[in-house]
Amino acid sequence: FDGLFLYDFIQDIRHQGVHVVTYAMGWAASMASVLSQAGDERIIAPNAWYMIHEPSSLTWGKAGDIKREAKMLEELHDQLCTIIANRATLSKAEILSRSMDKDWWMRADEALEHGFFDRIGIPRRNDAQA
């Protein structure tokens, strides 16, 4: 949920006219796969990996508590895939399907092909100063 706060915060500063570039270096996995979508420009390093998966949680309690937690996690997965699909070449249904019950790992070229990034590259000095 802290990641959703940060995603919304980045969207707010973008709407205020701040140009945001997100970089995925090494890997962008789990909530970082969502946060990487927050930028005006999304760049992945040539040797980086990208991973999308279902949210996880630890649940303790009665059967009803566990059912409610599972329902919330399904709704959260849907919400996160909506964010990711917003600029991708794949539909939300395709992203949900590919990330259900497993970690879906992609090389930089695969993530670019699916529209999760705008280009493959490395941070340049001018990018960091922008």
Q: Check whether 129 has a pLDDT greater than 60.
A: no
- Cα(80)–Cα(96) distance, integer angstroms: 9
Is residue 104 exposed (0-12), middle (13-18) or buried (19+ Cβ within 10 Å)? middle
Q: Answer for the pair 14, 7: CB distance below 8 angstroms, yes or no.
A: no
Q: 99, 113, 117: which is closest to 45 by C-alpha?
A: 117
So which residues are the catalytic ones?
30, 53
Q: Which of 56, 57, 58, 59 is nearest to 99 (CA)?
A: 56
114-130 average pLDDT score: 79
The structure's pTM equals: 0.87
Place of tokens 């990641």: 3
What is the pairing mode between strands 41-44 and 119-120? parallel
Cβ within 8 Å of residue 15, ≥6 positions away: none
Q: pLDDT tens-digit profile of 47-96?
A: 999 999 998 888 888 999 999 999 999 999 999 999 999 999 999 999 99
